[in-house]
Structure 1
Amino acid sequence: MTVIGTDRLRELVAGLVRIPSPTGDERALAEHIAAELGGRVQPLGERQANAVARLRGDGTGPDLMLYAPIDTMTAVDERDLPPEGPEPAPEIEGDLVTGPGAGNPKGHAACVMAAFETIRDSGVRLKGDVIAAFGAGGMPDRGGQGVGCSFLLEQGYHPDYAVIAKPGWSASHEEVGLAWFEVTVRGHHTYVGSRHRLPYDNAIASAAEVVLAIETWAEDYTVRHTSGQVAPQAIVGAIEGGWWRMPAFTPAACRFLVDVRLSPRDTPAQVKREFLTLVHGLGAEAEMVLSIPGTSTDPGSPVVRAAVGAFERLDGHHVPQEGMSGATDANILRSRGVPTVRVGMPKVAGITDFALGMNTVDVREMARLTELLVMIASEVAG
């Protein structure tokens, strides 16, 4: 089976990069993907949609879903727009394509498209269906967290097995979940001119101490909960308190959000108890406002074995990835009863900046991932 070349891969990823797809506004990109593959758009709302295409087998084998999310980090207003500005345009320099989401998720989505085209154009007879699915709302955002993936599964696209394309040149059979905690530190609402005359308890200053204590706790938390392929992390990611227009006043409370990653061997309730014990001991309050359990697929599952075997045929060996703390829609797939393996491209060599890594892809690595996806699909559904 001939795998699509780098010219087509470059064309595919550039086409995806040109269409903005912040979380909650993916419909235009879904329409583009559906048109390219001869598939269909699956609306979640006026501006949000999935794309899906199916190659039908003869019904004697298992169905396989090749899945990739398509949303990028949300732009709520002009202040949140990336440095590239509101009109994304891919920059192509040799084998590298740079633009919003070019590496993650759009480069991986383009590989799923290319794998689907390769299998379709080969004319090979399939025993099971091969479904190419592209989910909206995959980012760790209040409007994301796998809403598109859940909708796909609920609306009839529920395969026997799934492969999710996300970064990492390895076959990963498990990943962390996540819990978000809203922490509130209380103080006294007062005025700078009265600091020396009234009881003074600045919630912002107190919150700073709590934040530092949580950041210190996070390092120990990771050590204690690392196992298997995961090393769950935690960070303080957002904080609010006071008013930019009048810094002469202190707020009565300061709030911040903490993202705590969860091992598949820990439940959200267990981690909540640990975190609340910490926060209450610091004199603050906390509430868990989001929880998605970590998940694991049996390493002996056919889809995991097929992925490991594909790596061994391509590279001569498979190197398991450890120390992972990224959560993806694989958790949604597994929680709905779909054994799932994660495969993806390695980081582009020489790039250490997080944003640039998300926004750059090497088409040579895209070709390798596409070949890997075709091999897995042929093994599972062929």
Structure 2
Amino acid sequence: MKKESRSQEKEIRIDLNYLRDLTKKMVKIPSPPGKEKEVALFIASELERIGIKGKLQRAEKDRYNVFAKMKGKTNKSILFQGHMDTIPDYGWKEAFWPKEKDGRIYGRGSVDMKSSIACAIAAMKALVSAKEVPEKTILLAGTVDEETEKRGIFTLIERGVEADMGVCCEPTDLKIGLGHKGNVPLRVSTKGRATHGSTPEAGVNAVYHMGDVLAAFEKNWRVNGKHIDGIGHVHGTYSVGIIRGGESYFVVSDQCHIWIDRRTIPGETKEDVKREVEGFLNPIKGSRPEFQYEIALNERPDWKWPKIIERGYKSVLISPKEEIVRLASSSYKKVVGSDPEMAFLMYWTEADFLVNEAGIPTIIFGPGEPAEAHSTHESIAVSQLERAARIYLDMMMG
């Protein structure tokens, strides 16, 4: 027999209509990086309306995090964190016109990740409506700029956020993420010697040299396997995303550039990545004596801010014995009736900062299928929204 959750025992219920409406209202507000102010003001206003004390936290001009606190019975605290920005519509005409169809809510941010923030707010509202004081102090943080340079999470950390445990509410299909890969963006450039296209033998074509570089990365796309207890085997990976080279079709190119997405596993550093890439590329000199290359770490075409360029993205892995894992597992089982699946995520989240900078043991756990994120059909099942909100509520009461 399925044991009743703490919220069921005390007749505290999630208002599903409120949860659906709140998700759609947030989706309707476009909030690409740099334009998050309206959604931040909306969330802060909504928190105040339902009786939760919140405040805006300035990340930079016209860009604000939202931070809220609900005092608990004990000195322990739990942080629920999510980002308020989304990617742009990228031509999806209905991205910011949410609709509900066949049990799913469609729209940009329905998965990544306004729905998760809505779940946490709906759970807090249920406590307020029932006049119930949570067991732990509940902290809610909505951050800006996750999709680009992470100014919001930098600000949250610099303001000294503290909690005994945390939930990064990114979509995991309600699997409990014990960690995720890091990311070292890098640029590799080949150097040549320009000359007229009619006399290519007089020059050195950087594009041809890049062909050998591409072959090396294709051959070595998966590297450094590691076994994680309870999860299985994981690897680091390389993926070439952008290539640029040449100035004119009748000029032998003297430079060519690629940008590479290197996903790292726990224990790997950017210095390790550089040495590894040098190991791939140095042998090319044996067949191309004039081969020259340059490696730039933590470089992405869309990164301009020195802080993120210096720091980059780090991997995360917490112990399955952490209290937050036990709490989430217990709440999941009470709500769903079965044990949750543990996962190590291939994608990066802001749990990196919560664990590695703030020292908060944090799981990644939220509704929505990750493959739906950033798509032109992004949608979330209403049933999973409700389930996530009920689990969050039980965790708040635990």
Q: Which TM-score applies when normalising by structure 1?
A: 0.85
The number of residue pairs the alignment matches comes to 359
What residue is the counterpart of 2:100 in the other structure? 92
Pick one of 69, 85, 88 that aligns with 1:54: 69
Q: Does 1:137 align with 2:137?
A: no
Residue 171 of structure 1, CA deviation:
1.4
Q: Does 1:67 align with 2:75?
A: no
What residue is the counterpart of 2:250 in the other structure? 248
What residue is the counterpart of 2:295 in the other structure? 286
Are residues 193 and 51 of structure 1, via their aligned partners in 2, closer, same or farther at CA, if it must alter by over 3 Å? same
Between 1:228-237 and 1:261-270, the stretch displaced more is: 228-237
Are residues 182 and 124 of structure 1, via their aligned partners in 2, closer, same or farther at CA, if it must alter by over 3 Å? same
Matches within 5 A, 1:161-310: 161-168=165-172, 169-195=174-200, 198-219=201-222, 221=223, 224-225=225-226, 227-228=228-229, 229=231, 230-243=234-247, 246-282=248-284, 283=291, 284-289=293-298, 290=309, 291-310=312-331
Partner SS, residue 92 of structure 2: coil
The code of the aligned residue for 1:286 comes to I
Judge conservation of contact 2:58–2:65 (CA < 8 Å) in 1: yes
Pick one of 122, 125, 129 that aligns with 2:130: 122
Counterparts of 1:6 and 1:94 in 2: how far apart (Å)? Answer: 16
Residue 340 of structure 1, CA deviation:
0.5
The code of the aligned residue for 2:193 comes to H
Counterparts of 2:127 and 2:210 in 1: how far apart (Å)? Answer: 55
RMSD: 2.5
Residue 375 of structure 1, CA deviation:
1.4
Judge conservation of contact 1:116–1:132 (CA < 8 Å) in 2: no
The code of the aligned residue for 1:338 comes to I
Counterparts of 1:328 and 1:271 in 2: how far apart (Å)? Answer: 20
Matches within 5 A, 1:294-373: 294-322=315-343, 324-335=345-356, 336-347=358-369, 355-356=374-375, 359-373=378-392
Partner SS, residue 242 of structure 2: strand
Judge conservation of contact 1:70–1:105 (CA < 8 Å) in 2: yes
Counterparts of 2:198 and 2:129 in 1: how far apart (Å)? Answer: 75
Counterparts of 2:256 and 2:276 in 1: how far apart (Å)? Answer: 22
Partner SS, residue 190 of structure 1: coil
Are residues 212 and 181 of structure 1, via their aligned partners in 2, closer, same or farther at CA, if it must alter by over 3 Å? same
Pick one of 11, 24, 27 that aligns with 1:14: 24
Are residues 247 and 26 of structure 1, via their aligned partners in 2, closer, same or farther at CA, if it must alter by over 3 Å? farther
What residue is the counterpart of 1:149 in the other structure? 153
For structure 1, the 5+ residue unaligned runs are 76-80
For structure 2, the 5+ residue unaligned runs are 1-6, 49-53, 285-290, 299-308
Judge conservation of contact 1:21–1:70 (CA < 8 Å) in 2: yes
Are residues 24 and 205 of structure 1, via their aligned partners in 2, closer, same or farther at CA, if it must alter by over 3 Å? farther
Partner SS, residue 278 of structure 2: helix
Partner SS, residue 156 of structure 2: helix
Residue 85 of structure 1, CA deviation:
4.6
1:184-208 residue CA offsets vs partner (Å, 9 max, x unmatched):
111222333333xx42433223323
Judge conservation of contact 2:177–2:345 (CA < 8 Å) in 1: no
Partner SS, residue 172 of structure 1: strand
Counterparts of 1:358 and 1:340 in 2: how far apart (Å)? Answer: 30
Residue 134 of structure 1, CA deviation:
0.7
Counterparts of 1:377 and 1:268 in 2: how far apart (Å)? Answer: 37
Counterparts of 1:187 and 1:87 in 2: how far apart (Å)? Answer: 44
Structure with greater proportional strand content: 2
Residue 323 of structure 1, CA deviation:
5.5
Are residues 124 and 62 of structure 1, via their aligned partners in 2, closer, same or farther at CA, if it must alter by over 3 Å? same
Counterparts of 1:45 and 1:323 in 2: how far apart (Å)? Answer: 33
Q: Does 1:107 align with 2:112?
A: no
Q: Which TM-score applies when normalising by structure 2?
A: 0.82
1:165-220 residue CA offsets vs partner (Å, 9 max, x unmatched):
1122211222211111111111222333333xx4243322332331232132113x
1:224-246 residue CA offsets vs partner (Å, 9 max, x unmatched):
24545454433112222234xx4
Residue 151 of structure 1, CA deviation:
1.4
Judge conservation of contact 2:179–2:345 (CA < 8 Å) in 1: no
Are residues 90 and 190 of structure 1, via their aligned partners in 2, closer, same or farther at CA, if it must alter by over 3 Å? farther
